[in-house]
Amino acid sequence: MAQAAKIQESIEDLEKKQEWWWIAEKKRSKRLDYLRKAVWKKGAIGGNYAPGVKVDLEIPVLFTQMYNWWKFDPPMLRRAKANAHILDNMTIFITDHAQLVGYVGTTPNTLLWRIDGASMVNEELYNEPGVMPEPEQASLKKVADLNAAWAGQTAVDKVARILDPEDAVKFLSGAIGWGAPTSAYGYSGKDYEFLFAQRNGFLDIIEKIDEAIEKAEDRTMGAPGPDILPLYERLQNWDAMKMILEASIRYANRYARLARIIAENYETDPTRKEELIRLAETCEHVPAHAPRSLQESLQYDHFVQVLARIEALEGAWPARPDYYHWPMYHKDVNVEKNITREEALDLVGEFMIRAYEVGGFGPRWAREGLQGITGTWVWTLGGVNKDGTDACNDLTVAFLQAARMVRVANPTFAFRWHPKVADDVMREVFECIRHGLGYPSIRNDPVLIQNAMHWHGHPLEEARTWVHQACMSPCPTTKHGVQPMRMASATANCAKMVEYALHNGYDFVVQMQMGPKTGDAAKFKDFEEFFAAWVKQMEWLTNTLVRTVNLGRYKDPEFFGRPFLSATYERAVESGLDAVSPVGERGNCWITGFTWVENADSLAAVKKLVFDDKKYTMAELLDALRTNWEGREDMRLDFVKAPKWGNDDDYVDDIMLRCLREVARHSREIQCPCGNTWPLLPENVSGNIHYSSIVGALPNGRRLGDALYDGGISPGPGLDKKGPTAVLKSCGKIDHVGDGRAFLLNQRLSPTQLAGEKGYQLWKAYIKTWADLGLDHVQFNMVSDETLRAAQRDPEKYQEVIVRVAGYSAHFVDISRKTQDNIIQRTIQGI
Amino acid sequence: MKCTECSFEAPVAKFRYLYNARIDASIALRQCPQCQAWLAVDELSGSVKQKVGPGEAPWGKSAGIEGLAEDAR
């Protein structure tokens, strides 16, 4: 009834009430409306999967059968054969009205489960209520048998066995970082230049592989010597790459066959029949050949992403769709006029829905840390071409318009702002933010291009191709620039740096000596001694996490192996090495810094109240922290009132800069497997909630149990009391090139204040100040407290309200109460 | 402190600390060990201000503390 009533209301009335989700329903085509509503929500609601969402058991069974059969094969070849077996045999489906196909499961309600990733995750799956397909007992038996077969044999089991035992125990405590040092769960970059710019279909790549094999075999049949010895292994890798590409083409052809069967035997609607035939022709052409139309281009991209996900549970979705699909869009819509712009919008909207549909089973920590979504799928829009000219085009606008119609929380967009972006494009960006999507986030292209050159030495032209490899970090899409694997275990719970400096390296939450013994803080004579302890804890924590990732990267080709990913990488196809191997990669690593700003605020509070004003002794403070401020509310509020980041106060801002510069110095001392740097990138996803019960009480006034700040360099919620300019000025003191890889900034703006043309002009002026101050990132929530409160009271009515959590967006009703509260607490800045 | 729902009485620390939605406010959410009710507690005075629930009144800027803490605008 409520829905029928809303459909009767005019768009103007709905705009006044800012109920954008009803407007979307009215504006989108019937097809998009159906597809949007027909999709299963795979993101966890709080920490649990939605009713009806089940784990796919067909794929792990198929994989295990063939993996065990080929037990004497080397890693990449063995996995290629097992994955090819999946592609040849898994159940496939075509959603009604769909023009794009491909999914990581065998039915639309299923979650991908990669059995070969980690035994810990497999055990968790066995114990997860509600996700087993019916009949449940039979499924549980199947899972138990699979788990028994893989116990000790998964990628993480293998890495854990060779990690230093002390590192392993500390890492697995869950206190200092998360993720797993394996490409089974990482974020792989995509070599878009190889696939799209160079227009290589899989048959073109197979031709290149055949040439490489022929050349290598000429040498292995020739004069013996040490130079030919590595070729034997590479020949097997090339075989694996070729095998998986051939299987991928067969997989696409299975969709083509299914589409033809439906069209010829079951479909009665002539229009849909035609669409199914076109779909069949599309899947017969891509991925085997380079695309000839927009539909083929989008389908090719989707196949690549799905196939990479069937190979490993990927947490991110690096993409730059307006750039790489523009040639086919331009050809179809503008030059040859094969389709109308409205038809193109339908395809673009569906392209987003197909990505939103994708989901894999994640452990509870991942579900808590990424509430409401199944991965950080941040698609990059805008930016510049390789020659520095504006890359925005009508497809950029089409993606921004389609986003407002389909209103999915994943993928989200990040827009590469630069001074040459046209006003009409900026208006479209603003419209998405004004409609409460929480995206696109705005990235400062000139700053980030310079940053990529500064930290990793990417040449200018390559730096300009950058896409988001995960939430925030730029990565080129070029042969030597693309990073094959960002392993999430280089994610630091940074609040532990100051916590350990206070407690001599001891963790009172996990009750274990974690960091080095940097001295009894009660005996520190001045702030410098305390800060020196912080530096040592910071170095220890980052070293520990980076060691695990470096080892994971180095051993991944042996412990896991990525035949499909390798086959889509120019350098891997050329060399015959696994794509994850550091050979031939320039390096593009970063340490994600969760819970970062707590360090500056805590250090400043200690400096002020203990060392400068001497209002409290360090012993008193330590006692208060170890008892979680219980019975010391007056004292806690004093520490809350100490100088706080985000108020343009040099007292604390200088400490923030000192901390960042110590990390930047250390980032050059530690090296990735390619020999490049490890800069810091402060951001949180919803890790601030996950870690709320893991980080002890802190001198910023926070108690164990309270949410941490919402991340990056965003001030603590409610602590930025001097307005938006003061926030920007504090953040502008950071050198966004030399102090780290990128810095997330959350801002809440008033939807009432930013209504209409005046609102746009105000926002544009804000963006100009942001750009002038050299900040690299900002993202906005523009949903009122009233709407969010109403959604808390009556979630059923507000299913489609989207908010920006951190580096991603989520439907408000899908995040936990504590996370909702944390978002509502953020200060609404009047600009 | 006395629970306004079931009259259970004990020192504040016996009421399970949940979280403080606003770091700069002295209002915290605690749970009564007897009846499990969520309570908005003034940590300075050690008194219960109101029960936190999904109804109209207590749902505010910071969960359960609308009107109990000043909004930071």
Per-residue pLDDT reduced to its tens digit, A89-104: 999 999 999 999 999 9
CA dist B44 to A155, A633, B20, B31, Å? 52, 6, 13, 17
Q: Is B3 on the interface with A (CB under 8 A)?
A: no
What residues in A contact B59, CB-CB < 8 Å?
A: 789, 792-793
Of the pLDDT bands very low, low, confident and very high (cuts 50, 70, 90), residue B27 is confident
What residues in A contact B49, CB-CB < 8 Å?
A: none
More confident residue, B59 or A596: A596
The count of structural domains within chain A is 2
Question: Is the residue at B35 inside a domain?
Answer: yes
Report the distance separating Cα A227 and Cα A735, nearest Å: 46
* Residue in A641, A701, A821 nearest the CB of B63: A821
Is the CB of A789 less than 8 angstroms away from the CB of B63? Answer: no
Is the CB of A828 less than 8 angstroms away from the CB of B61? Answer: no
Q: Min CA distance, A662 vs chain B (Å)?
A: 28
Pick the closest to residue A332 from A322, A318, A323, A343 (CA basis).
A343
Q: Where are the beta strands (DSSP E) in A559-688?
A: 591-594, 680-682
Is the CB of A821 less than 8 angstroms away from the CB of B26? Answer: no
Mean pLDDT computed over B22-46: 90
Give the model's pLDDT for residue A193: 98
Phi-psi region of A657 (alpha: psi -120 to 50; beta: other; left: phi over 0): alpha
Residue B66 has pLDDT above 60, yes or no: no
Mean pLDDT computed over A491-495: 97
In percent, how much of chain A has pLDDT > 70? 99
Q: What is the pTM of this model?
A: 0.95
Residue B69 has pLDDT above 60, yes or no: no
CB A364 within 8 A of CB A47: yes
Is the CB of A633 less than 8 angstroms away from the CB of B44? Answer: yes
Tokens encoding A224: 């013996």
What residues in A contact B61, CB-CB < 8 Å?
A: 785, 824-825
Residue A8 has pLDDT above 80, yes or no: no
Question: Is the residue at B16 inside a domain?
Answer: yes
Report the distance separating Cα A129 and Cα A131, nearest Å: 6
Question: Is the residue at B66 inside a domain?
Answer: no
What residues in B contact A785, CB-CB < 8 Å?
A: 61
CA dist B7 to A97, A539, A660, Å? 60, 51, 51
What residues in B contact A636, CB-CB < 8 Å?
A: 43
What residues in B contact A718, CB-CB < 8 Å?
A: 22-24, 72
Give the model's pLDDT for residue A340: 98
Question: Is the residue at B15 inside a domain?
Answer: yes
Residue B58 has pLDDT above 80, yes or no: no
What residues in B contact A817, CB-CB < 8 Å?
A: 63
What residues in B contact A717, CB-CB < 8 Å?
A: 22-23
pLDDT digits (tens, 9 = 90+) for A690-738: 899 999 999 999 999 999 998 899 999 889 989 999 999 999 999 999 9
* Residue in A701, A718, A789 nearest the CB of B72: A718
What residues in B contact A630, CB-CB < 8 Å?
A: 12-13, 17
CB A719 within 8 A of CB A710: no
Domain range for residue A732? 486-744
Give the model's pLDDT for residue B73: 40
Report the distance separating Cα A206 and Cα B48, nearest Å: 71
Is the CB of B62 less than 8 angstroms away from the CB of A637? Answer: no
Q: Min CA distance, B4 vs chain A (Å)?
A: 20
Report the distance separating Cα A781 and Cα A435, nearest Å: 10
Mean pLDDT computed over A39-59: 92
* Residue in B19, B55, B72 nearest the CB of A707: B19
Give the model's pLDDT for residue A397: 98
3-class state of residue A178 by DSSP: coil
CB pairs under 8 A between A and B: 78
What residues in A contact B28, CB-CB < 8 Å?
A: 703
pLDDT digits (tens, 9 = 90+) for A266-321: 999 999 999 999 999 999 999 999 999 999 999 999 999 999 999 999 989 999 99
Domain range for residue B8? 1-53
- In this structure, which long-range contacts are made by residues A23-26, counting pairs with CB atoms below 8 Å and at least 24 apart in sequence? A23/A435, A24/A404, A24/A405, A24/A406, A24/A407, A24/A800
* Residue in B23, B60, B73 nearest the CB of A719: B23
Give the model's pLDDT for residue A783: 87
Range in A321-335, A588-602, A789-803 with the lowest mean pLDDT? A789-803
More confident residue, A375 or A201: A201
* Residue in B13, B44, B73 nearest the CB of A828: B73
* Residue in A631, A701, A825 nearest the CB of B21: A825
Count CB-CB contacts under 10 A for residue A151.
Answer: 12
CB A300 within 8 A of CB A287: yes
Report the distance separating Cα A40 and Cα A53, nearest Å: 8
pLDDT digits (tens, 9 = 90+) for A142-199: 999 999 999 999 999 999 999 999 999 998 899 999 888 999 988 999 999 999 999 9
Q: Of A744, A764, A790, which one is at a domain's C-terminal end?
A: A744
3-class state of residue A26 by DSSP: helix
Torsion angles phi and psi, residue A611, rounded to 5: -95, -40
Count CB-CB contacts under 10 A for residue B57.
Answer: 11
Mean pLDDT computed over A455-461: 98
Torsion angles phi and psi, residue A829, rounded to 5: -85, 130
Question: Is the residue at A825 inside a domain?
Answer: no
Report the distance separating Cα A228 and Cα A663, nearest Å: 43
Q: Is B21 on the interface with A (CB under 8 A)?
A: yes
Is the CB of A822 less than 8 angstroms away from the CB of B54? Answer: no
Question: Is the residue at A462 inside a domain?
Answer: no
The count of structural domains within chain B is 1
Average pLDDT, chain A: 95
Report the distance separating Cα A177 and Cα A630, nearest Å: 28
Residue A809 has pLDDT above 90, yes or no: no
Is the CB of A718 less than 8 angstroms away from the CB of B24? Answer: yes
Q: Is B26 on the interface with A (CB under 8 A)?
A: yes
* Residue in B12, B19, B26 nearest the CB of A705: B19
Kindly provide the ipTM of the predicted complex, given to two decimals: 0.84
More confident residue, A48 or A601: A601
What residues in A contact B23, CB-CB < 8 Å?
A: 640, 700-702, 706, 716-719
Is the CB of A701 less than 8 angstroms away from the CB of B59? Answer: no
Residue A594 has pLDDT above 80, yes or no: yes
Give the model's pLDDT for residue B67: 60
Q: Is B22 on the interface with A (CB under 8 A)?
A: yes
Please report how many Cα atoms fall inside a 13 Å half-sphere around the Cα of residue B30, on the Cβ side.
Answer: 29
Question: Is the residue at B68 inside a domain?
Answer: no
Of the pLDDT bands very low, low, confident and very high (cuts 50, 70, 90), residue A818 is confident
Question: Is the residue at A376 inside a domain?
Answer: no
Give the model's pLDDT for residue B61: 46
Give the model's pLDDT for residue B72: 42
Mean pLDDT computed over B12-38: 89
Q: Is B13 on the interface with A (CB under 8 A)?
A: yes
More confident residue, A417 or B49: A417
Count CB-CB contacts under 10 A for residue A651.
Answer: 14
Is the CB of A825 less than 8 angstroms away from the CB of B60? Answer: no
Contact partners, residue A234, CB within 8 Å, separation at least 6 = A216, A575, A576, A577
* Residue in B23, B63, B73 nearest the CB of A701: B23
Report the distance separating Cα B50 and Cα B38, nearest Å: 9
Q: Which residue of B has its CA nearest to A708?
A: B23
* Residue in A637, A700, A706 nearest the CB of B19: A706
Q: Which residue of B has its CA nearest to A792?
A: B54
Angle between helix A633-641 and A618-626 (nearest 10)? 110
Is the CB of A827 less than 8 angstroms away from the CB of B72? Answer: yes
Question: Is the residue at A756 inside a domain?
Answer: no
Q: Min CA distance, A411 vs chain B (Å)?
A: 29
Q: Min CA distance, B73 vs chain A (Å)?
A: 6
Question: Is the residue at A103 inside a domain?
Answer: no
Count CB-CB contacts under 10 A for residue A622.
Answer: 17
3-class state of residue B38 by DSSP: strand
Torsion angles phi and psi, residue A750, rounded to 5: -85, 120
Q: Min CA distance, A168 vs chain B (Å)?
A: 31
What residues in B contact A716, CB-CB < 8 Å?
A: 23
The secondary structure of A400-414 as a DSSP string is: HHHHHHH--SSSEEE
Report the distance separating Cα A503 and Cα A606, nearest Å: 14
Of the pLDDT bands very low, low, confident and very high (cuts 50, 70, 90), residue A455 is very high
What residues in A contact B17, CB-CB < 8 Å?
A: 628, 630, 703-705
Question: Is the residue at A696 inside a domain?
Answer: yes
Residue A442 has pLDDT above 90, yes or no: yes
Q: Which residue of B has its CA nearest to A701?
A: B23
Tokens encoding A735: 């050198």
Residue A468 has pLDDT above 70, yes or no: yes
Name the B residues in 29-58 with CB < 8 Å from any A CB: 43-44, 54-56
Q: Which residue of B has its CA nearest to A628?
A: B17
The secondary structure of A123-161 as a DSSP string is: HHHHH-TT-SPSSHHHHHHHHHHHHHHHTTTSHHHHHHH
pLDDT digits (tens, 9 = 90+) for A778-802: 999 888 888 888 888 788 888 888 8
Mean pLDDT computed over A627-645: 96
- Interface probe for B, chosen from A817, A822, A826 (most Cβ of B below 10 Å), is A817
Give the number of residues written for chain B.
Answer: 73
Mean pLDDT computed over B8-34: 90
Q: In what order do the strands lie in the sheet with B27-31?
A: B16-19, B27-31, B38-42, B47-51
Q: Min CA distance, B44 vs chain A (Å)?
A: 6
Residue A575 has pLDDT above 50, yes or no: yes
Question: Is the residue at A583 inside a domain?
Answer: yes
CB A251 within 8 A of CB A307: yes
Pick the closest to residue A591 from A559, A551, A560, A547 (CA basis).
A547
Of the pLDDT bands very low, low, confident and very high (cuts 50, 70, 90), residue A368 is confident
